[in-house]
Chain A
Amino acid sequence: MTTAMLIQWVVISALIIVSLLTGFAYLTLLERRVLARIQVRIGPNRAGPFGLLQPVADGLKLFFKEELIPAQADRVIFVLAPVVTLIPALIILAVVPLGPPIELFGQTITLGLAPDINVGVLYLMAVSSISVYGIVLAGWSSNNKYSLLGALRSSAQMISYELALGLAFIGPILIAGSMSLQDIVDAQASRWYLLYQPIGFVVFVLAAIAEVNRAPFDMPEAEQELTAGYHSEYSGMKFALLFMAEYDKMIAVSAIAATLFLGGYHGPFIAEAPLLGPLYLGGKVVLLLLLMIWLRATLPRFRYDRLMAFGWKVLLPLALLNVALTAVGVVMWGG
């Protein structure tokens, strides 16, 4: 490990984290504006031009809110839970390649922190599963029935949909013959895996939406039944952290979906201008985020038993079928 590498890592990590944090802020604004348009409203447009300062105003407001810890709450876990939820959402993009290698200061720099590690997909699975602990701990330590019910629902839901999610990962792995995300992206240079894996993509998107607890699978925070679910008792910046975790997870799963199925950073003229890579990836992520917002604006919340039935009886068999078909295809026509 040389000093140059160290500096490179620090810079790239800082870039990833800063882009995730600002991405979170502006994703909330984007969601509010798009939802408003779908509901034939205008949405927040007062703070700054087009409401662009709205996230700043929201953040400042949350800073000045009282940090309330319920009297009977488990204080240590209560404080720890938002951190446990947020950290995986921030570090998950470490293995996602953000662009092709570029030449800078006479050195080859890979865009992305560790895109080429050989267990990239496993890392994604492992890290994305950690954030459920944060939610369960948040619900448990609040010492509130609604919070606990929300946490129980979210753990049940995440465990059920994690299986389908994991099986959806297998398609691209089989075709690319590698678990490294760099290899998977390189293999999609000419043709996106969406073409080979339409079922896999649909299963992945549905399971991912359930995994990040978004509508129509937002059972853990169903306002009408559970007030706010696991974050009922949270206020101030701790609430902001949970909120940030939710939106950063949305960005993260969108980035993963774009990497696995939509060709990652690949796009026209990428060979001539490698710096277009992050832009292409960002564009695909924004499209997927818009899809999520659109789904939220359209679909009502699932009933809990139907959610479970859908996960186990529809999504899981579909994902298994997809794995079998992919395996047969790979054997018959080669990778």
Chain B
Amino acid sequence: MKILGLLRGMWITFRSMFERPVTIQYPEVKRPVRSRFRGRHELRRFDNGLEKCIGCSLCSAACPADAIFVEAAENTDERRFSPGERYASTYEINMLRCIFCGYCEDACPTEAIVLGHTYELSFTDRRSAIYTKERLLVPVASGGQPTPMRVPAGAFDRSIPLMQDPE
């Protein structure tokens, strides 16, 4: 009886040799991430090209790893970066500190910072671990203008877009 069990085990391992390997050949083949995957951050823009970030530093306050540094400056209608009074003149995330918890995303009042789907973040020196605003900002959508832009006075006075209850 014991021999029979042994032979059955051998048969199972023999059979498994002809199954399709589950290995994903990583650099060539990439496994799609889940839609709520928390990867590298990106700073979003409105459709017209204005940055959503208003430099409020709530993300920085929410960050448990103290990875985010924000410095704000005043918007003017001649040099407008974002709607409302202020924009982030400096926005840096230290990827050596970030734990990808997504609290910054939750804290953001304008949904400007979002954790994207990029996860290939390797770097070879500590300086390049710091992601500056230029690296984090997404490109301007088609039909939009790059920031800073000149806008008519009074067009973008609200920092936070008007919220409406869903129908």
Decide whether A and B assemble into one complex.
yes
The chain A residues found within 8 Å of chain B, CB to CB, are 34, 36-42, 294-295, 297-299
Number of interchain pairs (Cβ within 8 Å): 31
- Interface bits B1-45 vs A (CB < 8 Å: 1, else 0): 000001001101110110111110100000000000000000000
The complex places the Cα of A156 from the Cα of B9 at a distance, in Å, of 28
Across-interface contacts of B12 in A (CB, < 8 A): 298
Asked if B22 and A41 make an inter-chain contact with CB atoms under 8 angstroms apart, the answer reads yes
Please, which residue of chain A has its CB at the minimum distance from the CB of B9?
A298
Asked if A40 and B13 make an inter-chain contact with CB atoms under 8 angstroms apart, the answer reads no
- Please count how many residues in chain B sit with their CB below 8 Å of the partner chain's CB atoms: 14
Across-interface contacts of B9 in A (CB, < 8 A): 298-299
Could you give 8 example pairs across A and B, Cβ below 8 Å?
A: A34-B17, A37-B21, A38-B17, A40-B16, A40-B21, A40-B22, A41-B22, A299-B9
The complex places the Cα of A295 from the Cα of B9 at a distance, in Å, of 10
> B18: shortest Cβ distance to chain A, in Å?
8
- DSSP class of A's interface residues: helix, strand, loop or mixed? helix
Please, which residue of chain B has its CB at the minimum distance from the CB of A39?
B16
Asked if A37 and B17 make an inter-chain contact with CB atoms under 8 angstroms apart, the answer reads yes
Please, which residue of chain A has its CB at the minimum distance from the CB of B14?
A294
The complex places the Cα of A37 from the Cα of B20 at a distance, in Å, of 9
The chain B residues found within 8 Å of chain A, CB to CB, are 6, 9-10, 12-14, 16-17, 19-23, 25
Contacts A298-B9, A299-B9 given; does A41 touch B21 at CB 8 Å: yes
- Central interface residue in A39, A41, A294, A295, by most chain B CB within 10 Å: A39
Asked if B23 and A41 make an inter-chain contact with CB atoms under 8 angstroms apart, the answer reads yes
> B166: shortest Cβ distance to chain A, in Å?
47
Please, which residue of chain A has its CB at the minimum distance from the CB of B15?
A38
The complex places the Cα of A41 from the Cα of B25 at a distance, in Å, of 10
Across-interface contacts of B16 in A (CB, < 8 A): 38-40
Known contacts A34-B17, A37-B17, A37-B21; can you find 16 more A-B pairs with CB under 8 A? Answer: A38-B16, A39-B16, A40-B20, A40-B22, A41-B21, A41-B22, A41-B23, A42-B23, A42-B25, A294-B10, A294-B13, A295-B10, A298-B9, A298-B13, A299-B6, A299-B9
> A1: shortest Cβ distance to chain B, in Å?
50
The complex places the Cα of A257 from the Cα of B11 at a distance, in Å, of 23
Across-interface contacts of A41 in B (CB, < 8 A): 21-23
The complex places the Cα of A95 from the Cα of B97 at a distance, in Å, of 64
Across-interface contacts of A37 in B (CB, < 8 A): 17, 21
Across-interface contacts of A299 in B (CB, < 8 A): 6, 9
Please, which residue of chain A has its CB at the minimum distance from the CB of B11?
A298
The complex places the Cα of A299 from the Cα of B9 at a distance, in Å, of 8
Across-interface contacts of B21 in A (CB, < 8 A): 36-37, 40-42
Across-interface contacts of A294 in B (CB, < 8 A): 10, 13-14
Asked if A38 and B13 make an inter-chain contact with CB atoms under 8 angstroms apart, the answer reads yes
> A38: shortest Cβ distance to chain B, in Å?
5
The complex places the Cα of A163 from the Cα of B156 at a distance, in Å, of 92
Across-interface contacts of B25 in A (CB, < 8 A): 42
